[in-house]
Amino acid sequence: MQILNFTRNSLEEFLTGQGFKRFKAEQVMQWIYQKKVFSFEGMTNLSRQDRETFSQIFEITPLPEPQIFKSKDGTRKLTFTLEDGNVVEAVIIPEEKRQTLCISTQAGCPLRCAFCRTGSLGFSRNLEVREIVGQVIAAEMVLEESGQRLSNLVFMGMGEPLLNFDNLLKSIDILMDDFGLNFSNRRITVSTAGIADRIVELGERTNVNLAVSLHAVNDEKRSRIMPVNERFGLKQLLDALKGYPVGRKMIVLEYVLLNNFNDLPEDALALAKIAKLLDAKVNLIPFNTFPGAKFEPTPMKKILEFQNLLVAKHVTALIRKSRGGDELAACGQLGRLKHNGDKDA
Ligand code: SF4
């Protein structure tokens, strides 16, 4: 059994069922997540007997050592080759005062958004809890070498988090646990392409921030670039977002700008209306192109005009700086391709 797939509650339940004291779960979690000790032998405050029994019951297998590709702007892409040959990626994005990790939840993605390289590569499988949390452990270990720490986590890497819902919830549980990785809810954002029937449940069962890949303001355009819109149309999505219990959380609308497709003044005005309806902020994302992409990036002058239209309607709209483009580590560029753009054999 992989111990990294257990939340604290499930580990406590399992261990007490085996006759162990409840607090053993806390001790073991602290060793793994906080001291990064991955063998029971090294857990010196456990009795010899416990160490031996735990070694017989559990495996502690974090992700294999990643290959690290560093981009000129300091962004680091961590590429993990899993035991079954699947490749997943996580990206450490350095900013002035913080280090954000972009996490993957699936190997590939079934949603096939037209502007996304990951989607163009197809879907392989959901990641296990240990493979999701393992990306955070690995990134922390990489940063530790330079005396830095992760400050924010965004579920915006490969895959649609809400299609791996149970494992997403368990991972968030471990990430926020005092005996786990101890992140505050305000530092965690889950991004969805619009799986409307899970959005409210996510809000009820966690208190993390939500980002929604909106990218178009009517069904006709949205369905052309995001096939998921055929399943959950804009009205259903907006209804779900209206029902997202916000409180201390925040909703951000992500909007990738595709030249002469969704970057017209009428798009900006309709986007402003939606943002006001949801009391949401808007992140404008310059399109990161990739080989075979069907769209062109909107020129920066036009992006600024688009932003001004939103601001004039009193909507907070930021332009997200593109990071890591030279190492295919930027938004929508992750995929099981080698960093030089050649397909894996
Ligand atoms: S943008 Fe996100 S949801 Fe869409 S294909 Fe890419 S990874 Fe999947």
pLDDT, tens digit, 9 for 90 and up, residues 271-295:
999 999 999 999 999 998 888 888 9
User: Are residues 16 and 161 both part of a single domain?
Assistant: no
Ligand 1 atom having least distance to the Cα of 192? 3
Q: Which amino acid, one-letter code, is at 197?
A: D
pLDDT in tens, 157-183: 999 999 999 999 999 999 999 999 999
In a domain, 342, yes or no: no
> What tens digit of pLDDT does each residue of 20-77 get?
999 999 999 999 999 999 999 999 999 999 999 999 999 999 999 999 999 998 999 9
Beta carbon of 111 within 6 Å of any ligand 1 atom: yes
The pTM for the full model equals 0.92
pLDDT at 97: 87
Ligand 1, closest atom to CA 226?
4
Same domain for 34 and 170, yes or no, is no
Residue 84 is assigned to a structural domain of this protein: yes
Q: Which residues pair with 155 in a beta bridge?
A: 190
- With a 6 A CB cut-off, is 119 part of the ligand 1 pocket? yes
Tell me whether residue 293 is in a domain. yes
Determine, yes or no, domain membership for 339: no
CATH of the domain at 43: 1.10.150.530
Cβ of 191 below 6 Å from ligand 1 = no
Residue 338 lies in a domain: no
Spacing, Cα 32 to ligand 1 middle (Å):
31
**Measured from the CB, is residue 109 less than 6 Å from ligand 1?**
yes
pLDDT tens readout for residues 244-271: 887 657 899 999 999 999 999 999 999 9
Residue 190 sits in the same domain as residue 314: yes
State if residue 160 touches ligand 1 by the CB under 6 angstroms criterion: yes
CB 150 within 8 A of CB 139: yes
Question: Does 249 map to a domain?
Answer: yes
- How far is ligand 1, taken at its centre, from the CA of residue 138, in Å? 23
> Which ligand 1 atom sits closest to the C-alpha of 160?
3
Residues 53 and 76 in one domain: no
215 lines ligand 1 (CB under 6 A): no
- Residues that are catalytic: 89, 331
**Distance from the CA of 120 to the center of ligand 1, in angstroms?**
9
312-340: pLDDT as tens digits: 999 999 998 766 666 565 556 566 433 33
CA 198 to centroid of ligand 1, rounded, Å: 16
Q: Residue 4 pLDDT more than 80? A: yes
CATH number at residue 248: 3.20.20.70
What residue type is 272 in one-letter code?
A: A
Are 28 and 125 found together in one domain?
A: no
Local confidence band at 343 (pLDDT 50, 70, 90 cut-offs): very low
Does the Cβ of 118 fall within 6 Å of ligand 1? yes
**pLDDT over threshold 60, residue 345:** no
| Same domain membership, residue 226 and residue 257 | yes
Residue having the nearest C-alpha atom to atom 4 of ligand 1: 113
253 CA distance to ligand 1 middle (Å): 15
Identify which of 202, 248, 196, 238 has the alpha carbon closest to the alpha carbon of residue 217: 238
Q: Are residues 130 and 196 in the same domain?
A: yes
Contact 127, 105 (CB under 8 A): yes
Q: How many domains does the chain have?
A: 2
Given a cut of 70, whether residue 341 has pLDDT beyond it is: no
Q: List helix spans (H) across the chain.
A: 8-17, 23-29, 48-57, 117-120, 129-144, 165-176, 196-205, 219-225, 228-231, 234-242, 265-278, 300-312
User: Both 31 and 162 in a single domain?
Assistant: no
Distance CA 288, CA 116 (A): 9
Q: Which domain holds residue 265?
A: 67-327
- The pLDDT of residue 76: 95
Mean residue pLDDT of the chain comes to 91
Confidence of residue 121 (pLDDT cuts 50, 70, 90): confident
Predicted local confidence at residue 103, as pLDDT: 97
